[in-house]
Amino acid sequence: MVSSIVQPNLSSSIAPTRRTGAFALMDSLKRHGVEHIFGYPGGAILPIYDELYRSEARGDVQHFLVRHEQGAAHAADGYARATGKVGVCFGTSGPGATNLVTGIATAHLDSIPMVVITGQVPRPAIGTDAFQETDIFGITLPIVKNSYVVRNAEDMARIVAEAFHIASTGRPGPVLIDIPKDVGLEEFDYIPVEPGVVNLPGYRPTVKGNPRQINAALHLLRQAEQPLLYVGGGAIAAGAYAEVQRLAEYFQIPVTTTLMGLGIFDENHPLSVGMLGMHGTAYANFAVSECDLLVAVGARFDDRVTGRLDKFASKAKVIHIDIDPAEVGKNRAPEVPIVGDVRCVLQQLLQRLQESGLKPVEGQTRPWLNKINRWRNDYPLVVPHYPDTLSPQEVIVELGKQAPKAYYTTDVGQHQMWAAQFINYGPRRWISSAGLGTMGYGLPAAMGAKVALPEEEVICISGDASFQMNLQELGTLSQYGINVKTVIINNGWLGMVRQWQQAFHGERYSASETNKGMPDFIKLAEAYGIKGMVVSDRAELQAAIATMLAHNGPVLLDARVNRDENCYPMVAPGKSNAEMVGLPKPSPVEQATSVIRCDSCGAKNSMTNKFCPECGAELSHPSTSGAF
């Protein structure tokens, strides 16, 4: 938590003018470049909405009335992820504020810059259990980067400037500003505070890496024969796309990404091994299990990435680059920790390479890349084709073909993992709740991305269960003509829940089937004045997606897919990344522990045997493609 002790008001040279706290807020938001706000009014925040009315009339800002405050938070989050700017949302006191909490937690865990503004009961009523009073400051303390209660209107401009600075610098995150109703109405001599004019002695994020650690990292990079770049969302936040590619190509290092890191590196690049982790590619998970150097760039060693932590990259030395010192060494102690802005640190590292003339050993990683390519060929991601039903993967692959440059949002579950596996995303074009795994995120996040980038194609990939969490935001799309295309991967289940119940709970499908009570999605869309479509036949899939994309307005496409499809590969809980299930052939680990029959006498033998103990014949082992 950043210190929020009141400091002297650092302002521009503009002479003071008598204004209200609400005016100071709206003027400060304008000065910080805010053009769009997502929110829902209510009693305690009405003075701010009254001033918002004037701001909209002047053309300073556009407000989008969501149908639920959670939608406002997710829309601001999607806006921020798509642009890198700070997203802004409004909510009133009490239930309005608490309805924002899930969206705040989503942004917090994924390090998304947001400023959340809530109304509060008047100052004299705080602590009296007044109508619609909640301590939103206290409720959100664990899930914000910083928070404020504005006790005096004259502090408003300073607080807004601090909030935007804190939200967008260092490790980004959400900041809450709680404004009592009477503060919004209070008049005072207003002096604006310009962006960046802040005084926060306790907040000085480290930007540059330690030169000694940079040299130590270069030493390990030059020695490594089986290195791997493991890149997370911190590299996206830092905009380190070019630097990651330059480093990878210079040392010929394969690159794997986390779910949050998708888009940092072109997955069609020969050095890409795709996403790693629970539903990552087999070759990424094999690579991390066999590498001798792991370079973690803006990643936090999340449990969905590491699997069994003591087996994660167990043969590797670790370089960990992150702007948040609390993350470095939190789950895995690195040999070389480097605290700093990811892009800046990589630029330092590349500059040091140039200055030193240090060259990688020619062909040093070629055997390693050849081994990875064998895994890539032996264990590809599979798109099933069934005679009578569509597979979910087919729908997602076709989407990727027809809209390769779109911005994609998702909800959470199997469809999210398939979307991560089968579409190659550009920078910032993958928008998904990773850390919190928030169902209901996809539609409002797509709404925010489309508002931010009206000329870009924005597609939400959802599930039939996730979509129903925030389906009311179809009303927002309809009211404002927000041209978002939504594709529901409809299998009639809580798909990932069903998969886990099948795998780990004896096929006891408790409360996971959604067919009963499911709405007719076409009629639902049409009720909101939105085009609804359905597809269940492979022969119609290509045309259906083309029609959806060509339509000038929001569309809801219900893609009815195979009900029992599971998402593979999968690292089961408590297993190492090398111990995946659902591979197209036995993994190297499985091959090394299974049995084979002797060609001469037919006796069963362990795969570890070279000769049959029964007859002495040499055993014919299947290729393990670089087994461990």
3-class SS at 595? strand
3-class SS at 267? coil
Note whether 618 and 610 are within 8 A (CB).
Answer: yes
Terminal Cα distance for the chain, rounded = 45
Selected catalytic residue, list 23, 64, 69, 286: 69
Strand 336-339 vs strand 317-322: parallel, antiparallel, or unpaired? Answer: parallel
Selected catalytic residue, list 114, 275, 439, 496: 496
Does 542 qualify as catalytic in the annotation?
Answer: no
Strand 531-535 vs strand 555-560: parallel, antiparallel, or unpaired? Answer: parallel
Does 496 qualify as catalytic in the annotation?
Answer: yes
E strand or H helix at 549: helix 538-550
Largest CA distance in the chain: 100
Work out the number of other CB atoms within 10 angstroms of the CB of residue 229. Answer: 29
393 vs 381: CA distance, rounded Å = 10
Helical axes 342-356 vs 211-223, angle rounded to 10°: 70
Which residue, 113, 52, 102, is CA-closest to 78?
A: 113
Which positions ≥6 away from 242 have C-beta within 8 Å? none
Does 516 qualify as catalytic in the annotation?
Answer: no
Note whether 89 and 117 are within 8 A (CB).
Answer: yes
E strand or H helix at 581: strand 580-581
3-class SS at 284? helix
Work out the number of other CB atoms within 10 angstroms of the CB of residue 127. Answer: 10
Does 447 qualify as catalytic in the annotation?
Answer: no
Both tokens of residue 562?
Answer: 């195979």
Selected catalytic residue, list 181, 371, 450, 485: 181
Both tokens of residue 236?
Answer: 């996206």
Selected catalytic residue, list 132, 245, 347, 402: 132
DSSP state letters, 3-55: ----------SPPPEEEEHHHHHHHHHHHTT--EEEE---GGGHHHHHHHHHH
* Burial class of residue 10, CB neighbours in 10 A (0-12, 13-18, 19+): middle
41 vs 95: CA distance, rounded Å = 12
Does 526 qualify as catalytic in the annotation?
Answer: no
Q: Please, which residues bridge with residue 555 across strands?
A: 485, 531
99 vs 73: CA distance, rounded Å = 9
Helical axes 392-402 vs 414-422, angle rounded to 10°: 40
Both tokens of residue 620?
Answer: 């014919």
- Length of the chain in residues, anyone? 628
Signed CA dihedral, 578, 581, 582, 588: sign only: positive
Q: Please, which residues bridge with residue 531 across strands?
A: 555
3-class SS at 503? helix
CA-CA distances (angstroms) from residue 323 to 1, 147, 251, 442? 16, 21, 23, 28
Helical axes 282-290 vs 366-378, angle rounded to 10°: 150
30 vs 164: CA distance, rounded Å = 12
CA-CA distances (angstroms) from residue 332 to 8, 254, 276? 42, 21, 17
160 vs 168: CA distance, rounded Å = 12
Catalytic residue positions, numbered: 69, 131-132, 181, 496
